[in-house]
Amino acid sequence: MSKTSFVNLGEPQPVIHASTPLIISRSSSWVRFLSLSLYTTSANLSSLALSSGFEISSNKGFGTVTKTFIFSPPNTVALTHTLRLWKLIISYIYRDFKIRKAFPLVKFTVYTLAFPNYSAEEAIKAAAQLGYDGVDIRVREDGHVFIDAPKEFRKRLVELAESLGIRIYGVYTYLGRNFVVPDPNVRRRALEEARAHLDLAVDLNGAYVRIFAGTKERTERNMKLFIEMCRLVCREAEDRGLLIGIETHGELVYSGDTCNLVLEEVGCDALTIVYDIAHIYMEGLNPLEELKKVDLNKVIAFQFHDFKKEDSKWRAVLLSYGEVPHDPVIEYLRSQGYDKFVVDEYEKWWRPELPDPMVGLKHNLKYLKEKFGVVR
């Protein structure tokens, strides 16, 4: 897989990872440049690109509408503008390359499973106080929000997050287990529930919806039913501009090969993987080797939590205190210019032995930022 380069064309904090081919990435003020395609929301750059022989089309991704500029051979009139455009891009590349190679574009989020006995508002405030870029909100009857939440409450959560400079990125549901029930009426209700969860994600301005891959009964029939349901749910997600993220939680999707099987059989751009490193490891597999089998562009998020085996049982510990091999995965992600979500899956809700979240999460976020080379 090719490495990735990042260049900032408008913000004071530049980002660069030197390598080829050149890909400049992000929504809003970041510009994505892939081969001879340019993605930007900059009016000035748009005007210059138009006069340089670029065709424009719209593109929507991760909640942001951008413009796509496809280069076509310039005529004599456009040649001067083309040279100006390339000169501008190259000047920023050179400037940013001299400044640093750190500051990847990953966003650090925390799953609100970390905050038992906190209200949704309190969890969002705590995440912002700790320095996360956003939260992945737990959606269940006993969670921080559910599908019956009033519109006013949903709007209030979004406004609160925005006021604190963070976002609700992941909408973490418990969908998926009923996708493999033989009774078609149960699966029909599961699809209706999925629609309600997707509507909730839209209202929360989320980027993706986490689901589980059926049950641990790994049969051919279950896989077939799960794939059929995923096709239906992904169509609904596409209609809403959302992504679906299947977590490698130990059910039907638990390895690189099973990730690829579902991705290929469903065949929908809206389907992605939420790569739970620890659960891959608990399957007795090598998380890095399994990851290398999967197209990294199809992995929307990586979940980080650590465990130590004691008396044949896994005990949750702070990141870096357990046995899960996170470092090789992080090194690989950095080498590939991964630019999506890094999730701190601090399971205090289920693991009372973990320290208070305001203590444990501070350690975890420091560890993650250091390993990803981030000093912000």
Q: Which of 46, 68, 103 is the last residue of a domain?
A: 103
Note the helical H segments in 51-174.
76-99, 120-130, 151-163
Q: Which of 50, 78, 103 is the last residue of a domain?
A: 103
293: nearest Cα among 34, 20, 1: 1
Task: Tell whether 244 and 226 lie within a shared domain.
Answer: yes
In angstroms, rounded to a whole number, what is the distance separating the alpha carbons of residues 173 and 236? 15
Residues 6+ away with beta carbon under 8 Å from 253: 213, 246, 247, 259, 262, 273
In angstroms, rounded to a whole number, what is the distance separating the alpha carbons of residues 152 and 141? 18
Let me know if residue 285 belongs to a domain.
Answer: yes
Task: Tell whether 257 and 118 lie within a shared domain.
Answer: yes
Let me know if residue 233 belongs to a domain.
Answer: yes
Q: Which of 103, 132, 166 is the last residue of a domain?
A: 103
Task: Tell whether 18 and 134 lie within a shared domain.
Answer: no
Let me know if residue 20 belongs to a domain.
Answer: yes
**190: domain CATH number?**
3.20.20.150
pLDDT of residue 86: 60
Q: Which residues constitute the domain of residue 252?
A: 107-371
pLDDT of residue 85: 57
Task: Tell whether 147 and 180 lie within a shared domain.
Answer: yes
Task: Tell whether 173 and 60 lie within a shared domain.
Answer: no
Task: Tell whether 4 and 127 lie within a shared domain.
Answer: no
Which pair of tokens denotes residue 174? 């418990």
How many domains does the structure of the chain reveal?
A: 2
pLDDT of residue 105: 77
Low-confidence ranges of the chain (pLDDT < 50): 1-46, 48-79, 92-104
- Predicted TM-score (pTM) of the model is 0.75
Task: Tell whether 57 and 41 lie within a shared domain.
Answer: yes
Task: Tell whether 149 and 242 lie within a shared domain.
Answer: yes
Task: Tell whether 121 and 144 lie within a shared domain.
Answer: yes
In angstroms, rounded to a whole number, what is the distance separating the alpha carbons of residues 19 and 8? 15
Task: Tell whether 135 and 258 lie within a shared domain.
Answer: yes
Task: Tell whether 211 and 360 lie within a shared domain.
Answer: yes
Q: Tell me, what DSSP letter sits at residue 356?
A: P
Cα separation values, 33 from 27, 38, 60, 125, Å: 12, 4, 15, 35
In angstroms, rounded to a whole number, what is the distance separating the alpha carbons of residues 30 and 189? 41
Let me know if residue 376 belongs to a domain.
Answer: no
Number of other CB atoms surrounding residue 266 within 10 Å: 21
Task: Tell whether 40 and 168 lie within a shared domain.
Answer: no
